[in-house]
């Protein structure tokens, strides 16, 4: 073979291999789950949206709403569930179990509706567009983004129905939530007064029956109203944060030169009070002190304080709000350098919610962050027991620990699974 022929052969081989490599890369890219948008999720009705995003989007998307309303199977189930609402006025009187039974879903009922909804992914372009567009890009069901559209919808439906059932069990029947001391029903379910409240709620819903037209509408309305009547709207407070308490920091995010800092953010978990009327616990104040020093040392452009309305039960103070106030007034940290998460109710969700804000606010997700807290909590976060607790409660670990830099500080990376909504924890899903 001549030199020229060998060169032509070599070039041809290179091109063929290049085409093969490009095809492999394209195939891998197609198999990779779509990445959620690096943007806050629009929350028109925050408590509903954060708990039951699938239902919210089906309600608000005209084509999706029409497809659900006109499907024969879903319409039949919807009619039966409205009839169950009608029957409460005739038969329930002050019986809470009777009211709850009209709105709770059995596994069989839920599976039938989920299967019908999955069928709409095949039959309705509006449902396909909703699923493969806003639902996937929201990240609210990010752990299902690698699934096909039908299974994605079935899993999201199941999450929502289980969440509705849980809210009815806890705030309608007084069953114990995961953390009874802080997440329980407000009123005594044995009292005549509370039973009359639930009786009146069912009557109000009956009066507004025409609007309860989708298959999930009566149960969703009942669950949300029960939470509202028990003053358990914590999940919606301060939302949308990027337009309120986090606005200054969110706007500044766009101009940060991240390479100037060793960490993207200093995450500071809150600490609840043990008595009413106290704005900031001693532990929270000391954690602020350490975090302020890290900020002044240039460790990160932002401090993220995390903690909701937790201790004592139904407290009027949110840990993150009071820690932010403390950082500003006592240490002079500017508001544009402070992010709040006023929703987390435990350490697992301190880290999960921090990861959510980091992703949705556009921080570099592959850049190390720092979690700064007191000695005891820092050791707990580092333990194998805490990782197991995350797996037990969340189903995943919302962080990857990288190392310890001091008795107060741990380096970590956030994980994408943290975006997934959890309506089994309705006060901070």
**Rounded CA separation 343/359 (Å):** 17
Do 387 and 259 reside in the same domain of the chain?
yes
> Per the domain annotation, does 111 fall within a domain?
yes
CATH number assigned to the domain comprising residue 332: 3.40.50
Do 220 and 262 reside in the same domain of the chain?
no
Q: Which domain holds residue 372?
A: 238-419
> Per the domain annotation, does 40 fall within a domain?
no
Half-sphere exposure of 69 (CA within 13 A, CB side): 15
Give me the pLDDT at residue 20, please: 42
> Per the domain annotation, does 279 fall within a domain?
yes
**Tally of CB atoms within 10 A around 84:** 16
Do 271 and 224 reside in the same domain of the chain?
no
> Per the domain annotation, does 15 fall within a domain?
no
Question: CB-based burial of residue 207 (10 Å sphere; 0-12 exposed, 13-18 middle, 19+ buried)?
Answer: exposed
Handedness of CA 384, 385, 390, 393 (dihedral sign): positive
Bridge partner residues of 269 (DSSP): 306
> Per the domain annotation, does 29 fall within a domain?
no
Handedness of CA 126, 132, 133, 139 (dihedral sign): positive
Q: Which two tokens stand for residue 24?
A: 């492999």
Do 70 and 132 reside in the same domain of the chain?
yes
Do 207 and 281 reside in the same domain of the chain?
no
Crossing angle of helices 282-296 and 319-331, in 10° steps, is 50
Question: CB-based burial of residue 185 (10 Å sphere; 0-12 exposed, 13-18 middle, 19+ buried)?
Answer: buried
- CB within 8 A of 397, min separation 6: which ones? 387, 390, 391, 415
Q: Among 235, 252, 277, which residue terminates a domain?
A: 235
**Rounded CA separation 308/305 (Å):** 10
Cβ atoms of residues 307 and 362 within 8 Å? no
> Per the domain annotation, does 28 fall within a domain?
no
Domain count, the chain: 2
Q: Which two tokens stand for residue 165?
A: 């059932």
> Per the domain annotation, does 35 fall within a domain?
no
Element (H, E) at 127: helix 125-130
Q: Among 187, 209, 235, which residue terminates a domain?
A: 235
Do 223 and 275 reside in the same domain of the chain?
no
Half-sphere exposure of 101 (CA within 13 A, CB side): 8
Do 253 and 377 reside in the same domain of the chain?
yes
The SS3 assignment for 373 reads coil
Do 157 and 225 reside in the same domain of the chain?
yes
Cα distances (Å, whole numbers) of residue 420 to 39, 78, 335: 15, 28, 28
- CB within 8 A of 119, min separation 6: which ones? 71, 73, 150
**Rounded CA separation 129/113 (Å):** 20
Do 246 and 179 reside in the same domain of the chain?
no
Do 73 and 161 reside in the same domain of the chain?
yes
> Per the domain annotation, does 173 fall within a domain?
yes
Q: Among 177, 212, 235, which residue terminates a domain?
A: 235
Handedness of CA 191, 195, 198, 200 (dihedral sign): negative
Whole-model pTM over 0.75:
yes
Do 72 and 203 reside in the same domain of the chain?
yes
Residues of the chain scoring pLDDT < 70: 1-31
Do 107 and 184 reside in the same domain of the chain?
yes
């Amino acid at each position: 073979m001549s030199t020229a022929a060998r060169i032509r052969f070599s070039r041809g081989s290179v091109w063929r291999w290049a085409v093969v490599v490009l095809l492999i890369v394209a195939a891998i890219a197609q198999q990779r789950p779509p990445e959620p948008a690096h943007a806050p999720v629009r929350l028109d009705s925050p408590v509903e949206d954060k708990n039951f995003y699938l239902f919210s989007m089906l309600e608000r998307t005209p084509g999706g709403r029409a497809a659900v309303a006109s499907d024969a199977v879903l319409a039949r189930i919807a009619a039966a569930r409205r009839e169950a609402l009608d029957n409460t006025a005739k038969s329930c009187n002050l019986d809470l179990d009777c009211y709850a039974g009209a709105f709770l879903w059995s596994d069989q009922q839920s599976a039938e509706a989920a299967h019908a909804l999955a069928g709409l992914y095949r039959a309705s372009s509006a449902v396909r567009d909703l699923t493969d567009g806003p639902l996937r890009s929201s990240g609210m069901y990010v752990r299902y983004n690698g699934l096909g559209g039908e299974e994605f919808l079935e899993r999201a439906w199941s999450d929502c129905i289980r969440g509705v059932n849980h809210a009815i069990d806890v705030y309608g029947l007084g069953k114990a939530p995961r953390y009874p001391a802080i997440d329980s029903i407000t009123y005594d379910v044995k009292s005549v007064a509370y039973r009359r409240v639930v009786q009146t709620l069912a009557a109000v819903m009956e009066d507004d029956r025409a609007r309860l037209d989708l298959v999930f509408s009566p149960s969703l309305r009942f669950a949300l109203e029960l939470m509202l009547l028990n003053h358990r709207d914590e999940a919606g407070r301060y939302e949308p944060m990027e337009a309120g308490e986090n606005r200054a920091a969110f706007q500044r995010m766009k101009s940060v030169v991240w390479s100037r800092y060793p960490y993207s953010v200093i995450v500071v978990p809150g600490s609840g009070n043990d008595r009413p009327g106290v704005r900031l616990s001693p532990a929270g104040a000391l954690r602020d002190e350490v975090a302020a020093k890290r900020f002044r040392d240039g460790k990160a452009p932002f401090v993220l304080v995390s903690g909701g309305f937790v201790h004592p039960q139904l407290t009027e103070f949110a840990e993150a709000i009071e820690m932010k106030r403390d950082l500003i007034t006592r240490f002079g940290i500017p508001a544009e350098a402070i992010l709040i998460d006023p929703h987390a109710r435990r350490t697992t969700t301190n880290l999960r919610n921090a990861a959510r804000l980091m992703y949705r606010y556009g921080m570099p997700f592959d850049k190390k962050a720092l979690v700064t807290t007191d000695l005891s909590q820092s050791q707990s976060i580092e333990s194998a027991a805490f990782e197991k607790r995350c797996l037990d409660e969340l189903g995943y670990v919302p962080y990857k620990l990288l190392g310890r830099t001091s008795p107060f500080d741990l380096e970590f990376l956030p994980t994408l699974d943290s975006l997934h909504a959890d309506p089994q924890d309705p006060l901070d899903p």
